[in-house]
Amino acid sequence: MKREGKVIAVNEKNATVKLMRHSACGDCGACQMGKENMNIEIEALNTVGADIGDKVMVDMTTQDVLTAAFIAYGIPLIMLIIGIVGGKFILELLGMKENIELFAFVLGLVLMTITFFNIKKRDKKFKESKKYLSEITEIID
């Protein structure tokens, strides 16, 4: 997945790139609020020696983007569902009859929260591996 962006900071081997709105965003008006703030900043490997202010093309491997999205959103969602379903099942086995759904939901939220904290704790390790880091592939202009 290639995206166009502008380098706003450079350090050692990486650069911070502000990605421009994707062409699919267009002017449909669906996101009028904050439309001018739709740009996002990412950290990318600066393999082409881009400097601050350069317009660049950033390549993000689709598989790595999907894997990172699954880690950040899919796993916590799965843990929420496991907590709710498993909690309801366990509470029924224990003979609890009142507020089972509420306690199961709370258990699901607890498992999801623990998962988010685990992911956050390992965030530095993910960044150091550079597997999920985008790469600047060319300087435009």
What is the Cα–Cα distance from 117 to 135, expressed in whole angstroms? Answer: 27
- Reduced to 3 states (helix: H, G, I; strand: E, B; else coil), residue 130 is coil
pTM: predicted TM-score of the whole model, two decimal places: 0.66
| pLDDT tens, position by position, 45-83 | 888 989 898 899 988 877 877 888 899 899 999 999 999
Average per-residue pLDDT in the chain? 84
* Confidence at residue 37, expressed as pLDDT on a 0 to 100 scale: 60
Average pLDDT over residues 111-139: 85
| pLDDT tens, position by position, 83-92 | 999 999 999 9
Render 20-65 in DSSP notation, one character per residue. PPPGGGTT-STT-TTGGG--EEEEEE-TT---TT-EEEEE--HHHH
| pLDDT tens, position by position, 18-33 | 987 655 554 544 444 4
Stronger pLDDT, 20 or 121, i.e. the higher one? 121
In Å, how far from its chain's centre is CA 67? 10
- Dihedral of CA 19/21/22/23: which sign? negative
Q: Comparing C-alpha atoms, which of 74, 24, 43 is closest to residue 136?
A: 43
- Beta-carbon-side half-sphere exposure of residue 100 (alpha carbons within 13 Å): 13
Q: Comparing C-alpha atoms, which of 31, 33, 37 is closest to residue 19?
A: 37
Average pLDDT over residues 90-97: 90
